[in-house]
Structure 1
Amino acid sequence: MFKKLKASLGIGSAKVDTILQNPSLYQGEILQGNVHIKGGDVEQVIDAISLKLCTEMKVELENGHSYQTFVLETIKVNQPFTIHASEEKSLPFEFKLHDETPITQLNAQNNQSKVWLETTLDIDFAIDPSDRDFIEVKPLPAIANVITSIENAGFNLMKADVEKGFLQGGHFASQSGCYQEIEFRNSGFFSSKEIELSFILDGAVIHCLAEIDRSMSTRGDQYTSFSINRDASVSDISYQLDTLLRM
């Protein structure tokens, strides 16, 4: 009885450890791994194992902002089962990384974009054990070429973060409830220019929405959007960026 009481408080309870086979991958790729469970001091029923793909998003408030965890998607790994004392189990899993998963591998001066997988054991009458594993999300080659082209035009990659809300382009919209902003800035002699760029992966197409802000300009913020194929060439990308860079 005493052991069961301790297990309900998380002492001597089952433990979980998720091992990712490919912790560095692109948006839309298949994430693979194994959930390892080790039984505690007593037999326990595992009602479910949940895998949550998470990011941290910025939420604007009246008096500032806060940061909140946002769950992009949740995957259930198993049906209920019993784990005996000191027993060990390993359950494989795989799932497609959400298309709107933020890119984390960015060489920004201030990169606030984070993505992780949170694993939780659902145990009745107990503190649920959990495990957190960070994931490196690489930019698709076409997106990397867009970023490089903007930098080659004299802009510095200043900041990347994830914000709460939805994006609406000319012929596309985001779906998840959060979006990533990648901020570039250059410094001219008389004025500076900022470009805030967001990417939305939609199957074989990458949609791009850009906000342009010029200091000492009376035109206010300007917006433009364009789409490229995932296998877009450098010349295709340069053609699409021409208008953006001249705004």
Structure 2
Amino acid sequence: MVFKKMLRALGVGGPTVDTVLTESRVYPGGEIVGEVRMTGGEHPSDIDYIALSLVTRVERSGAAVVEFDRAVVSGRFPLGAGQSTVVPFRLPVPWEAPVTEVFGHQLHGMGLGLRTELAVAKAVDKGDLDALHIVPLPSQAAVLEAFARLGFHFRSADLEHGRIHGVDQRLPFFQEIEFHPPRELARGISQVELTFVTDPAGMAVVLEADRRPGMFSSGGDAFGRFHVSHEEAERTDWAGLISQWLGEVSSRRPSNGFHGGGHHGGHRGGGGMGMVGGVAAGLVGGMVLGEVFEEVGESFFGDEG
């Protein structure tokens, strides 16, 4: 895929740059591979540096574009008039990078881009924001597939500034993926939010259910947190686990698995998990997930896709 940028800050007749990606769809913890192709303008130029950065929109007190990863891929070099040069690069994708595409659908409300920054003679041009798609790891996909199987419908997704209590979080924001509950749960729950905080060893799966007020209750939020390795996540019966927890939350019975918590550090907290690794019923492999995605994508997203 080729993204062409005319360098606005350098004026008419300045260099042009094409950022060429081998693949625009990548996994958290994977790599962005490509090359920056430059062509000199009408006059020779001294390139001070080329940098690539990952940027996205984060909700704070209003939405703001945040750069959350950056790498200088080239230092100073001369570029002659009309001369062409290529700078190859390999950039690691942060493990906590937010998912932007599920079941082949772009998540409504999510956008993430690779930005090329070029400095020439002390003039810096940050180019355009070009789309990069982050697809779920198999461990994350197993959880998302369970929500689809349980009859949940995707509502929206966004990034919230802050940190989650009790989770080793590296980025200054976290993703919330919001779902409408199925009919049998809608009387007690208005929506469920899912957050992944992922690292090389595994991930924290954080849930927040918004409970509707009842005859003897004012409603409120229920929180759950589950820590699991990537291998365990693919073997876990997430549909059964989530269904049990949500049934307890909607009926306001004490939970035997996910434990509630309160807001802390800008977001939700929670206790330890009773149902930890070893909850395994039905292996969900990559090929099976691929088939499931095709089946559930339309009903999962409805008109949101």
Provide the TM-score with structure 1 as the length reference. Answer: 0.86
Alignment of 1:198 onto 2:199: no
Shift of 1:59: 2.1
Shift of 1:146: 0.7
Which residue among 83, 87, 94 is the counterpart of 1:98?
A: 94
For the residue of structure 2 that corresponds to 1:233, the secondary structure is helix
Change (3 A) 1:109 1:35: closer
**Matched residues in 2 for 1:12 and 1:180: separation?**
41
Alignment of 1:140 onto 2:141: no
Residues 73-109 of structure 1 show CA distances to partners (whole Å, capped at 9, x for unaligned) of 1000112011111111001000210111110113679
Letter in 1 for 2:178: E
Match of 1:29 in 2: 30
Trace 1:110-129 onto structure 2 (pairs within 5 A): 111-126=108-123, 128=125
Change (3 A) 1:26 1:104: same
Change (3 A) 1:129 1:15: farther
Shift of 1:134: 1.2
**Matched residues in 2 for 1:41 and 1:134: separation?**
30
**Matched residues in 1 for 2:9 and 2:208: separation?**
51
Which residue among 176, 179, 183 is the counterpart of 1:181?
A: 176
Shift of 1:235: 3.5
Residues 198-224 of structure 1 show CA distances to partners (whole Å, capped at 9, x for unaligned) of 001111201111111111242411111
Change (3 A) 1:236 1:153: closer
Shift of 1:239: 5.7
RMSD in angstroms over aligned alpha carbons? 2.3
Question: Which stretch shows the higher mean deviation, 25-34 or 150-159?
Answer: 150-159
CA contact (8 A) 2:117 2:125 kept: yes
Residues 122-164 of structure 1 show CA distances to partners (whole Å, capped at 9, x for unaligned) of 1124352624331111011121121121222232111111122
- Structure with the bigger RCO (C-alpha within 8 Å, sep 6+) is 1
Trace 1:159-238 onto structure 2 (pairs within 5 A): 159-169=156-166, 172-186=167-181, 187=183, 188=185, 190-217=187-214, 218-231=218-231, 232-238=233-239
**Matched residues in 2 for 1:42 and 1:117: separation?**
28
Change (3 A) 1:129 1:102: closer
Shift of 1:175: 1.8
CA contact (8 A) 1:16 1:130 kept: no
**Sequence identity percentage:** 28
Residues 2-56 of structure 1 show CA distances to partners (whole Å, capped at 9, x for unaligned) of xxxxx97511111111000011111110110000111111111111101011111
* 5+ long unaligned stretches in structure 1: 1-6, 61-65
CA contact (8 A) 2:147 2:239 kept: no
Change (3 A) 1:194 1:91: same
Q: How many residues were matched structurally?
A: 234
CA contact (8 A) 1:205 1:228 kept: yes
For the residue of structure 1 that corresponds to 2:194, the secondary structure is strand
Question: Which stretch shows the higher mean deviation, 188-197 or 81-90?
Answer: 188-197
